[in-house]
Amino acid sequence: MSDLRPSKIVCVGRNYAKHAAEMGDNVPTEPLIFLKPPSALLADGEPIVLPPGVGRVDFEGEIGIVIGRRARAITRDEAWEHVEALVPVNDVTARDLQRADDQWTRAKGFDTFCPVGTPVPLADVDLGTLSVVTRVDGEVRQRGDAADMAFDVPAILAFVSSIMTLEPGDLVATGTPDGIGPLSAGEVVEVEVSGVGRVRNPVRQG
Ligand code: MG
C-alpha cells in the first residue's frame, strides 16, 4: 500500500485525443469519470500482480492530483487552490475485462492496480511544462503533455466537484496519453511526471 489514504480515487477516461483514437473512440463531450478503490493503491517498488485468467493487463501512465482542501462545486478559477500536490499514477487496467464489462469497476479495481509515487507540493511543480512519460524495462512507451488534455485540470476538478465532494487526500488521475500497452510478468514499468518524479514497479504473475 502507499502512504496516500484517499477516501476515493477519481479517474478520467479518454482525456487525450490520440489515446481515444487508439481505443477506436472519440474524446467525450464531458469528462468521462470512473472510480478506482483505494484498496488498489500500491507504493513505489512494490509488485503489480497480474490476476490469473484475466487476459491482457495494460499500463496507463497518468498525472495525478492530490486534493488539499475540500472541494464542493468549485469553479475552474478556484480549482488550483484546492490542490495540494501532484503525483505520478499508473492506472493499471485489465483491458479484456474492460472491453467485456459495461462498468469498469472490475477491470480497474484489482489490488495493486494503482501504483502511486511520492506527492510533490504544487508550488514546487512547473505547470507550464507538465508531462508524463511511461517506460517499460527502460524503453519509452508513452509520452504526453498536459497541454494536450481534452479537459484540463481545472475543468476536471470543477466537473468532478459538481458531482461529488472532493476531500483532502483524494486522488484524481487525469487520463492517459496514447501508447498504452500490455504488461508481462518480469517487466518493470515506470511512470514519470516531469518535475514530480516517478513510480516504478515490477510486474509478477498472481
Ligand atoms: Mg486511465
Q: Please tell me the distance from the alpha carbon of residue 161 to that of residue 146, in angstroms, as a whole number.
A: 20
- Look up the pTM and report it: 0.97
Amino acid identity, residue 77?
D
Q: How far is the CA of 72 from the centre of ligand 1 (A)?
A: 23
- Domains of the chain in start order, with CATH, are 9-205 (3.90.850.10)
Q: Please tell me the distance from the alpha carbon of residue 94 to that of residue 140, in angstroms, as a whole number.
A: 21
The helix/strand/coil state of 97 is helix
pLDDT string in tens for the chain (206-residue length): 567 899 999 999 999 999 999 999 999 999 999 999 999 999 999 999 999 999 999 999 999 999 999 999 999 999 999 999 999 999 999 999 999 999 999 999 999 999 999 999 999 999 999 999 999 999 999 999 999 999 999 999 999 999 999 999 999 999 999 999 999 999 999 999 999 999 999 999 99
Q: How far is the CA of 77 from the centre of ligand 1 (A)?
A: 25
Distances from the Cα of 116 to the Cαs of 8, 72, 74, 103, 202, in angstroms? 14, 25, 26, 23, 13
Interstrand relation of 9-13 and 171-173 (parallel, antiparallel or unpaired): parallel
SS (H, E, C) the chain: CCCCCCCCEEEEECCEHHHHHHCCCCCCCCCEEEEECHHHEECCCCCEEECCCCCCEEECEEEEEEECCCECCCCHHHHHHHEEEEEEEECCEEHHHHHHCCCCHHHHHCCCCEEECCCEEHHHCCHHHCEEEEEECCEEEEEEEHHHECCCHHHHHHHHHCCCCECCCCEEECCCCCCCEECCCCCEEEEEECCCEEEEEEEEEC
Q: How far is the CA of 198 from the centre of ligand 1 (A)?
A: 17
Is residue 67 within 8 Å of residue 172, measured between CB atoms? yes
| DSSP code for 149 | B
Q: How far is the CA of 13 from the centre of ligand 1 (A)?
A: 6
Place of cell 485468467: 53
In this structure, what C-alpha cell is assigned to residue 203?
Answer: 510486474
Q: How far is the CA of 90 from the centre of ligand 1 (A)?
A: 8
